Amino acid sequence: MNNRPFGRPYRIDAFPPSDYLTPMTIRPIISLPDPKLREVSKPLERVDDDVRRFADDMLETMYDAPGIGLAAIQVGEPLRMLVLDVSDREEPRNPRVFINPEIISRSDTPNVHEEGCLSIPDYYAEVERPAEVTVKYVDRDGKEQLVEANGLLATCLQHEIDHLNGVLFIDYLSKLKRDMVVRKFRKLARDRPPPARMVG
């Protein structure tokens, strides 16, 4: 999820410490109309060092973008995993990793939030979702956890969990608006120069 509606600029201070000596890698984020964004991601069978290293890469990619949430499929990996940080600008960073997240209950009360998406750059729209959700997930230590989320955390979790099911926030808009966005991004992709060929 993009952070523009919430006005949080990229901070280079208080970067989450890594448990590893290997440097973290910023991965390219795929964008509309990449068909991968419509894939349904697969659950992870275990949480090991490779998964934790990938989570660190996702966090670095998210902070660099900058964004407040990122699903694995947005860097091209169809795994049920997401990272987010919805802390305020004044607060220290609070990177969180959700593996195999699952919404187990939703409130009847709706909440409307302006959303953006790192895979649909520079487009924002209001989306109505349940105001509160309870999410079951596995943390980066492989432990099962339960979180009762409201506010921005609830919005962000629902937006990112949608990505794991191939759903984008533009799917909640009218067909007219959605078609307009898709057309714009198809045209952008067409006008983009082709990637340089490797020769030799």
User: Taken in order 28, 65, 44, 104, is the CA torsion positive or negative?
Assistant: negative
Nearer to Zn ion, 117 or 125 (CB): 117
Supply the DSSP string of 20-83, one letter for each residue: -SSPP-PPPPP-TT-GGGGSPPBPPS---HHHHHHHHHHHHHHHHTTBSEEEGGGGT--BSEEE
With CB under 5 A, what is the number of residues at the site for Zn ion?
Answer: 1
Dist CA 20 CA 85 (whole Å): 20
Q: Which CB atom, from 69 or from 95, has the smaller least distance to Zn ion?
A: 69
The residue among 49 and 128 lying less far from Zn ion, judged by its C-beta, is: 128
Give whichever of 32 and 47 is closer to Zn ion, judged by the CB atom: 32
Residues annotated as part of the active site: 160
- Please state the closest distance from residue 169 (CB atom) to Zn ion, in A: 6
The amino acid that residue 9 corresponds to is P
Minimum Å gap between C-beta 134 and Zn ion is 21
CB of 187 to Zn ion, least distance (A): 21
Identify which of 46, 10, 29 has the alpha carbon closest to the alpha carbon of residue 121: 29
Q: Taking the chain, what is the end-to-end CA distance rounded to the nearest angstrom? A: 39
Interacting positions 108-167 with Zn ion (CB under 5 A): 117
- The reply to whether 59 sits near Zn ion by the rule CB under 5 A is no
Q: Whole-number minimum distance, CB 140 to Zn ion, in Å?
A: 21
Q: Is 156 helix (H, G, I), strand (E, B) or coil?
A: helix
Footprint of Zn ion (CB under 5 A): 117
